Amino acid sequence: MCRNIKTLFNFAPPATEAEIEAAALQYVRKVVGSSRPAKANEEAFVQAVAEITEITRRLVREDLVVLGPPRSREVLAQQAKARGQQRDARTRARLQAELGLKT
């Protein structure tokens, strides 16, 4: 999965139109393997983004059933930051051990 595509379902506030379109664009870029289409493929690229945007909008806003409380983007960002700090600490400790450095 492309790391730039963000989860859009079950957030308070709901995903914006811009977030839905950005996810669709990232998906098409990943599938095509290029961030910009060749001139000959531009119409197909734009059409794919538009169709995937509409499908994604319908999926996250109408079709999926919500079973739990809405998630908070702020809480998830804090959790991601904490995971990054833990990963950084583990990496530093591993490198120090490999290089025989003392802290």
The whole-number mean pLDDT for each consecutive block of 10 residues of the chain, a chain of 103 residues, reads: 73 90 93 90 95 95 88 89 96 89 65
| Helix ranges, the chain (H) | 17-32, 42-58, 73-99
Q: What is the pLDDT of residue 31?
A: 92
Distance CA 61, CA 54 (A): 10
Tell if the pTM clears 0.95, that is, is over it: no
One-letter identity of residue 58: R
